[in-house]
Structure 1
Amino acid sequence: MATTVELAVFGVIGLFSVNAVPHFVKGVTGERHMTPLGPESSAVTNVVWGSINALVAGSLAWAYRDAVEPTTLAAAFVAGTAIAVGLASYWGK
Protein backbone atom coordinates (compact mmCIF):
# COMPACT_ATOMS: atom_id res chain seq x y z
CA MET A 1 0.00 0.00 0.00
CA ALA A 2 1.27 3.44 -0.92
CA THR A 3 2.09 5.91 1.82
CA THR A 4 0.58 9.37 1.96
CA VAL A 5 3.94 10.84 0.97
CA GLU A 6 4.15 8.58 -2.10
CA LEU A 7 0.63 9.53 -3.16
CA ALA A 8 1.47 13.21 -2.75
CA VAL A 9 4.72 12.82 -4.71
CA PHE A 10 2.92 11.11 -7.58
CA GLY A 11 0.32 13.88 -7.53
CA VAL A 12 3.16 16.38 -7.94
CA ILE A 13 4.60 14.23 -10.74
CA GLY A 14 1.25 14.44 -12.54
CA LEU A 15 1.08 18.22 -12.10
CA PHE A 16 4.60 18.85 -13.38
CA SER A 17 4.20 16.39 -16.27
CA VAL A 18 1.04 18.01 -17.57
CA ASN A 19 2.37 21.54 -17.05
CA ALA A 20 5.50 20.73 -19.08
CA VAL A 21 3.54 20.01 -22.26
CA PRO A 22 1.94 23.39 -23.11
CA HIS A 23 5.10 25.34 -22.30
CA PHE A 24 7.28 23.06 -24.39
CA VAL A 25 4.83 22.98 -27.31
CA LYS A 26 4.28 26.76 -27.31
CA GLY A 27 8.03 27.25 -27.18
CA VAL A 28 8.96 24.90 -30.02
CA THR A 29 6.26 26.45 -32.19
CA GLY A 30 7.76 29.90 -31.58
CA GLU A 31 4.87 31.32 -29.58
CA ARG A 32 5.00 33.46 -26.47
CA HIS A 33 3.22 32.11 -23.40
CA MET A 34 2.94 32.94 -19.71
CA THR A 35 5.53 31.53 -17.30
CA PRO A 36 6.39 32.49 -13.72
CA LEU A 37 9.05 34.74 -15.28
CA GLY A 38 6.47 36.94 -17.01
CA PRO A 39 3.10 37.11 -18.74
CA GLU A 40 4.58 37.17 -22.24
CA SER A 41 7.64 34.93 -21.91
CA SER A 42 9.63 34.17 -25.05
CA ALA A 43 9.51 30.90 -26.92
CA VAL A 44 12.97 29.97 -25.63
CA THR A 45 11.91 30.69 -22.04
CA ASN A 46 8.91 28.42 -22.53
CA VAL A 47 11.03 25.56 -23.89
CA VAL A 48 13.36 25.89 -20.91
CA TRP A 49 10.44 26.15 -18.45
CA GLY A 50 8.70 23.13 -19.99
CA SER A 51 11.94 21.17 -19.88
CA ILE A 52 12.46 22.05 -16.21
CA ASN A 53 8.93 20.84 -15.45
CA ALA A 54 9.64 17.57 -17.28
CA LEU A 55 12.97 17.22 -15.44
CA VAL A 56 11.29 17.65 -12.05
CA ALA A 57 8.59 15.10 -12.92
CA GLY A 58 11.11 12.63 -14.30
CA SER A 59 13.48 13.03 -11.37
CA LEU A 60 10.68 12.47 -8.86
CA ALA A 61 9.42 9.46 -10.82
CA TRP A 62 12.94 8.01 -10.86
CA ALA A 63 13.46 8.65 -7.14
CA TYR A 64 10.12 7.01 -6.29
CA ARG A 65 10.20 4.28 -8.95
CA ASP A 66 9.85 1.56 -6.30
CA ALA A 67 6.50 3.09 -5.27
CA VAL A 68 4.90 2.61 -8.68
CA GLU A 69 1.64 0.80 -8.13
CA PRO A 70 -1.96 1.33 -9.18
CA THR A 71 -2.77 3.83 -6.41
CA THR A 72 0.26 6.03 -7.07
CA LEU A 73 -0.36 5.96 -10.81
CA ALA A 74 -3.97 6.90 -10.14
CA ALA A 75 -2.80 9.84 -8.00
CA ALA A 76 -0.58 11.08 -10.84
CA PHE A 77 -3.42 10.64 -13.34
CA VAL A 78 -5.99 12.45 -11.19
CA ALA A 79 -3.65 15.36 -10.40
CA GLY A 80 -2.57 15.62 -14.03
CA THR A 81 -6.14 15.56 -15.27
CA ALA A 82 -7.16 18.19 -12.71
CA ILE A 83 -4.48 20.62 -13.82
CA ALA A 84 -5.22 19.89 -17.49
CA VAL A 85 -8.90 20.72 -16.98
CA GLY A 86 -7.95 23.84 -15.03
CA LEU A 87 -5.56 24.99 -17.76
CA ALA A 88 -8.13 24.27 -20.48
CA SER A 89 -10.74 26.25 -18.57
CA TYR A 90 -8.37 29.17 -17.97
CA TRP A 91 -6.97 29.38 -21.51
CA GLY A 92 -10.30 28.60 -23.15
CA LYS A 93 -11.83 31.87 -21.99
Structure 2
Amino acid sequence: MPTVVELVVYAVIGLFGANAVPHFVKGITGERHMTPMGPESSAVANAVWGSVNVLVAGSLAWVYRDAVEPATLAIAFVAGTAMAVGLASYWGGED
Protein backbone atom coordinates (compact mmCIF):
# COMPACT_ATOMS: atom_id res chain seq x y z
CA MET A 1 0.00 0.00 0.00
CA PRO A 2 1.53 3.34 -1.01
CA THR A 3 2.04 6.02 1.60
CA VAL A 4 0.49 9.47 1.39
CA VAL A 5 3.91 10.90 0.52
CA GLU A 6 4.29 8.45 -2.37
CA LEU A 7 0.83 9.35 -3.67
CA VAL A 8 1.66 13.07 -3.50
CA VAL A 9 5.00 12.50 -5.23
CA TYR A 10 3.31 10.59 -8.05
CA ALA A 11 0.74 13.37 -8.41
CA VAL A 12 3.65 15.81 -8.79
CA ILE A 13 5.25 13.46 -11.33
CA GLY A 14 2.01 13.52 -13.35
CA LEU A 15 1.79 17.31 -13.19
CA PHE A 16 5.39 17.91 -14.24
CA GLY A 17 5.18 15.24 -16.94
CA ALA A 18 2.05 16.75 -18.46
CA ASN A 19 3.41 20.30 -18.19
CA ALA A 20 6.60 19.29 -20.02
CA VAL A 21 4.78 18.45 -23.24
CA PRO A 22 3.40 21.85 -24.33
CA HIS A 23 6.59 23.71 -23.41
CA PHE A 24 8.82 21.26 -25.21
CA VAL A 25 6.57 21.18 -28.29
CA LYS A 26 6.33 24.99 -28.43
CA GLY A 27 10.08 25.17 -28.08
CA ILE A 28 10.98 22.70 -30.79
CA THR A 29 8.45 24.25 -33.19
CA GLY A 30 9.99 27.69 -32.69
CA GLU A 31 7.04 29.31 -30.96
CA ARG A 32 6.97 31.68 -27.99
CA HIS A 33 4.98 30.65 -24.93
CA MET A 34 4.64 31.55 -21.28
CA THR A 35 7.16 30.10 -18.80
CA PRO A 36 8.16 31.12 -15.28
CA MET A 37 10.84 33.23 -16.99
CA GLY A 38 8.25 35.50 -18.63
CA PRO A 39 4.92 35.71 -20.46
CA GLU A 40 6.49 35.68 -23.92
CA SER A 41 9.43 33.33 -23.41
CA SER A 42 11.51 32.33 -26.40
CA ALA A 43 11.35 28.98 -28.11
CA VAL A 44 14.71 28.08 -26.57
CA ALA A 45 13.46 28.96 -23.08
CA ASN A 46 10.42 26.75 -23.67
CA ALA A 47 12.51 23.82 -24.87
CA VAL A 48 14.71 24.17 -21.80
CA TRP A 49 11.71 24.56 -19.45
CA GLY A 50 10.03 21.50 -20.97
CA SER A 51 13.25 19.54 -20.51
CA VAL A 52 13.53 20.68 -16.88
CA ASN A 53 9.97 19.45 -16.30
CA VAL A 54 10.90 16.05 -17.75
CA LEU A 55 14.03 16.00 -15.58
CA VAL A 56 11.99 16.69 -12.42
CA ALA A 57 9.34 14.09 -13.26
CA GLY A 58 11.93 11.51 -14.27
CA SER A 59 14.12 12.12 -11.24
CA LEU A 60 11.20 11.79 -8.85
CA ALA A 61 10.03 8.64 -10.64
CA TRP A 62 13.53 7.20 -10.31
CA VAL A 63 13.84 8.05 -6.61
CA TYR A 64 10.37 6.63 -5.89
CA ARG A 65 10.60 3.71 -8.32
CA ASP A 66 9.99 1.19 -5.51
CA ALA A 67 6.57 2.81 -4.96
CA VAL A 68 5.33 1.93 -8.44
CA GLU A 69 2.02 0.25 -7.81
CA PRO A 70 -1.35 0.53 -9.52
CA ALA A 71 -2.46 3.21 -7.02
CA THR A 72 0.58 5.44 -7.55
CA LEU A 73 0.39 5.09 -11.32
CA ALA A 74 -3.32 5.91 -11.21
CA ILE A 75 -2.60 9.05 -9.19
CA ALA A 76 0.07 10.13 -11.70
CA PHE A 77 -2.34 9.49 -14.57
CA VAL A 78 -5.22 11.38 -12.94
CA ALA A 79 -3.00 14.35 -12.01
CA GLY A 80 -1.47 14.45 -15.50
CA THR A 81 -4.88 14.25 -17.14
CA ALA A 82 -6.22 17.01 -14.88
CA MET A 83 -3.25 19.20 -15.84
CA ALA A 84 -3.75 18.44 -19.53
CA VAL A 85 -7.48 19.21 -19.43
CA GLY A 86 -6.86 22.37 -17.40
CA LEU A 87 -4.23 23.60 -19.86
CA ALA A 88 -6.41 22.72 -22.85
CA SER A 89 -9.33 24.58 -21.34
CA TYR A 90 -7.22 27.61 -20.43
CA TRP A 91 -5.36 27.92 -23.73
CA GLY A 92 -8.39 26.92 -25.80
CA GLY A 93 -10.51 29.64 -24.20
CA GLU A 94 -13.21 27.15 -23.28
CA ASP A 95 -15.26 27.36 -20.10
- TM-score range (shorter-chain normalised) is over 0.9
Taking only aligned residues, the RMSD between alpha carbons, in angstroms, comes to 0.3
- DSSP 3-state at the match of 1:2: coil
Partner of 2:14: 14
SS of the residue corresponding to residue 30 of structure 1 reads coil
Inter-partner Cα distance in structure 2 for 1:20 and 1:68: 21
Are 1:78 and 2:81 matched, yes or no? no
What letter corresponds to residue 21 of structure 1 in structure 2? V
Q: Secondary structure at the match of 2:75?
A: helix
Q: Which amino acid aligns with 1:79?
A: A
Q: CA deviation at 1:32?
A: 0.2
TM-score, normalised to structure 1, is: 0.99
Question: Which residue number corresponds to residue 90 of structure 1?
Answer: 90
Q: CA deviation at 1:60?
A: 0.1
What residue is the counterpart of 1:67 in the other structure? 67
**Structure 2 unaligned runs (5+)?**
none
Identity of aligned residues (%): 81
C-alpha separation between the residues in 2 aligned to 1:81 and 1:28? 23
What residue ranges of structure 1 are gaps of 5+ in the alignment?
none
Using the TM superposition, give the Cα deviation of residue 48 of structure 1 relative to its aligned residue in structure 2, in angstroms.
Answer: 0.3
SS at match of 1:31: coil
Residue by residue, what CA displacement relative to the aligned partner does 1:17-65 show, whole Å, maximum 9, x if unpaired?
0000000000000000000111100000000000000000000000000
Counterpart-to-counterpart distance in 1, 2:30 and 2:46:
9
Give the TM-score, by structure 2 length: 0.97
Q: Give the distance between the partners of 1:31 and 1:20, measured in 2 at CA.
A: 15
CA distance in 2, matches of 1:29, 1:86: 22
